Amino acid sequence: MIPYLRRLALRSRLALLAALAVAVAVAAVSAAAWLVTRQQLSNQLDTGLKNVQASPAFVEELLRTCGWMQQPDHTSPKTPTPYTVQVVTSDGTVCTAPGSTAINVDESDRAVARGVLQSVLHDATAEDGTVMRVATSRTDLSRGLGDAYAVSIAQPMTLVSKPLGTLALVLFGVAGVGVAGAMTAGLAIARAGLRPVEQLTQTAEHIARTEDLDIRIPTQGHDEIARLASSFNAMTEALATSRDRQQQLIADAGHELRTPLTSLRTNIELLMRSESSGRQLPPKAREELLASIRAQISELTALIGDLQELSRPDTAPTSVNLRVVAVHEVAERALGRVKLRGSHLTFNTKLAPWYTQADPASLERALVNVLDNAVKFSPPEGEVLVHLASGAFIVRDKGPGIPPDELPHVFERFWRSPGARSMPGSGLGLAIVANTIRQAGGNVEVSTHPEGGCEAVIRLPGTEAPPPEVPAGA
């Protein structure tokens, strides 16, 4: 039954289950009504049989008719209709009223005739096969009769079975109508209730067939179906945004890769042409050409590394290796790497202890990117301020700063200010910084300082003291 239901549509299953529930309820009520009615009818029949008593005169006339008493009266006794009356002796002999069919006698009737029992009530079968309900009681009328006898008064059980049969047919008809009505109503309710689900299914099939993520499902109300539709709309919107960002990243990456690849191809073709023609380049020109090739390869390597860093999900901090790190130690390592490229600068450094939860490698790369920008735009013999206090990592240079109209774009991927396009870089550094700091639960801001130069502030949650170590297995 269950595998069959699973093959049906949800609408059909709901209608079938509704009809089944109604059928069970109607069947239970009908059975209870039929049983109660049968009990009431049986009780009424038994009470009527117990309350009916055959008069002594009637019994005497019946006995004379059967020849059991002297001086028979030739007038036939009148049967107290609709009852069947017969006299039972202790040996099981019966005398039945004229026009009535004799009823088979059992041991309980004979026991009443012998005086062992006062009265009995039981079912018996007449000689014509009719099932009767018999009430037998003891009566002492010894006029001319040596033994005591009992009088049985009976009625056919059809007085109970016929109404019960009619009631069963009525209940069966009502149950059938109720089940059919329940199935029809269940189908209508299921169709109306599942219409949003059907619309959701059609939308999902449309998206799977056409990859159109711009379609939305209208939502009404605040029930579960409306919440499901809202969640589906949010999911498709997130997928559309993710796809657009992916396409934009691919387009931007292709645009950025085209320039160094074109330049690299030109230089390599120049070297190959020189070798194939046998006309060697001057040593100085050849050295400059090889240096340009190395620089372009380094630029490509850095760009690919930046793209790999940005391939991480922006809103999935559990996908990276988050652990407690000492920010001041990471900042010292980042400063050590940057100072090799900024040996002509003065670094004003003050790093207070600070601990946060982040990916150590990603955090170090982010700090290096911020420090690299400061070194790149600082004037010769300039000063770079690097402070860490209360979770705020501040880097300030003495460069030209960033115009106000360009500040909203500094964290966009591949964006570079017009004044920096002639300098090496991919335009991904600050985008990586924003992504890494967001994964660590912090935020980053870049602004132009009132005294001149650019200031980057990275704020990270954490504490000044290292957290206690968690025991293994805790």
Q: How wide is the angle at C-alpha 201 spanned by C-alphas 199 and 205, nearest 5°? A: 115
SS3 state at 473: coil
Q: Cis peptide leading into 82, omega within 30 of 0?
A: yes
Q: Are residues 124 and 104 in the same domain?
A: yes
Sign of torsion over alpha carbons 74, 76, 77, 78 = negative
Q: Are residues 124 and 2 in the same domain?
A: yes
- How many domains does one find in the chain? 3
Q: Are residues 273 and 391 in the same domain?
A: no
Q: Are residues 332 and 298 in the same domain?
A: no
Backbone angles phi, psi at 117, to 5 degrees: -120, 150
Residue 395 to residue 453: CA distance in whole angstroms: 10
Query: Is position 215 within any domain?
Result: no
Which residue carries 């029949």 as its tokens? 45
Check if the beta carbon of residue 135 is closer than 8 Å to that of residue 152: yes
Q: Are residues 165 and 253 in the same domain?
A: no
Residue 416 to residue 394: CA distance in whole angstroms: 22
Residue 277 C-alpha from the chain's centroid:
73
Check if the beta carbon of residue 260 is closer than 8 Å to that of residue 299: yes
Q: How wide is the angle at C-alpha 365 spanned by C-alphas 361 and 367, nearest 5°? A: 120
SS3 state at 59: helix
Q: Are residues 70 and 160 in the same domain?
A: yes
Query: Is position 200 within any domain?
Result: no
Query: Is position 468 within any domain?
Result: no
Q: Are residues 37 and 135 in the same domain?
A: yes
Q: Are residues 183 and 55 in the same domain?
A: yes
Query: Is position 464 within any domain?
Result: no
Supply the pTM of this predicted model. Answer: 0.45
Query: Is position 465 within any domain?
Result: no
Q: Are residues 179 and 268 in the same domain?
A: no
Query: Is position 206 within any domain?
Result: no
In the chain, what is the greatest distance between 2 CA atoms, to the nearest angstrom? Answer: 166
SS3 annotation, 374-388: HHHHCCCCCEEEEEE
The boundaries of the domain holding residue 246 are 224-310
CATH number, domain of 281, equals 1.10.287
Q: Are residues 247 and 282 in the same domain?
A: yes
Per-residue pLDDT of the chain (474 residues; tens, 9 = 90+): 456 556 667 667 777 777 788 888 888 888 898 899 989 988 888 888 888 776 666 776 777 767 665 555 455 555 555 788 888 888 888 888 777 788 888 888 888 888 888 888 888 988 888 898 988 887 655 444 455 678 888 889 888 888 888 988 988 888 888 888 887 887 787 777 677 777 777 777 877 788 777 777 777 767 777 787 788 888 888 888 777 777 766 766 665 666 667 777 887 887 788 777 777 778 887 787 788 787 778 767 766 766 666 666 554 444 456 788 888 898 898 888 888 777 788 888 888 999 988 888 888 888 888 888 888 878 887 888 889 988 889 988 888 777 777 777 677 666 556 555 445 555 666 777 888 888 888 888 888 887 778 888 999 998 888 877 544 444
Q: Are residues 427 and 447 in the same domain?
A: yes
CATH number, domain of 437, equals 3.30.565.10
